[in-house]
Structure 1
Amino acid sequence: MHKVENLKIWQKSIELTKAIYLLVSELPIDEKFGLTSQIKRCAISIPSNIAEGAGRNSQNEFKHFLSIANGSSYELQTQLILIIELNLINKDKVQPIIELCIEIQKMNYAFQQKL
């Protein structure tokens, strides 16, 4: 078992989730039950699955939850690209969050290989 608070990938995913919450507050109100809700769920899923995997009894279980977190990160990245493509928020505000998402994806892959 890993102490989740010490995992850099978990720390980065918490940072990502906080950035997402600030970003989606700028989305139009009519997106509250659309993109806003979906984006928040994806963002929360990333650190949550990392934490759940860290608390499991085997490395294989941990890898499984890291894989779920990675899927959520790609889903989130897609939704962030949609925000840009739909001109809902300026690309300059969204791009750094996409880059953080990609960094977490790379960390996740490397961590899975290490396990």
Structure 2
Amino acid sequence: MRNFRELDVWRRAHELVQAVYRATKRLPKEEIFGLTVQLRRAGTAVATRIAEGCGVDSDVEFGGYLQRSKAAASELEYLLLLARDLEYLPEAEFTRLSEDVIVVKKMLSGFVRRI
């Protein structure tokens, strides 16, 4: 069993979730049950799947959780694009968050190859 707090990829994903929460505080109130919750859920899923995977005993199962984390990161990447295109996110914030998502996805891909 692994300790998720010791994984660089989890730490980076956790920082990403916090950044997503900060960014979504500025979305319009009418999006509170729409895009706001979707962005937060997708962002949280990235880090949560890594943590969940650390609780399983087999590398194959763990790899599956990492793949689901990467899928959630792809969902987050799209939702950030949508928020930008709807002019809810400034370009600079979108770029920073998108770059962070891409870094996490690359880290997850590398981790999957190593297990």
TM-score normalised to structure 1 length: 0.98
Q: CA deviation at 1:40?
A: 0.5
Q: CA deviation at 1:59?
A: 0.2
Distance 1:49 1:88 in 2: 27
TM-score normalised to structure 2 length: 0.98
Partner of 1:54: 54
Tell me, yes or no, if structure 1 residue 82 matches structure 2 residue 82. yes
Report 1:91-106 matches (<5 A).
Answer: 91-106=91-106
Partner of 2:34: 34
User: What are structure 2's unaligned runs of at least 5 residues?
Assistant: none
Q: CA deviation at 1:99?
A: 0.3
RMSD of aligned C-alpha atoms? 0.6
Identity percentage of aligned residues: 30
Distance 1:108 1:54 in 2: 13
| Letter in structure 1 aligned against 2:43 | A
Partner of 1:114: 114
| Letter in structure 2 aligned against 1:109 | S
List 4+ stretches of structure 1 deviating above 3 A: none
SS in 1 for 2:109: helix
Distance 1:28 1:57 in 2: 43
Number of residue equivalences = 115
| Letter in structure 1 aligned against 2:57 | N
Partner of 2:67: 67
Q: CA deviation at 1:54?
A: 1.1
Q: CA deviation at 1:93?
A: 1.4
Q: CA deviation at 1:27?
A: 0.3
| Letter in structure 2 aligned against 1:21 | Y
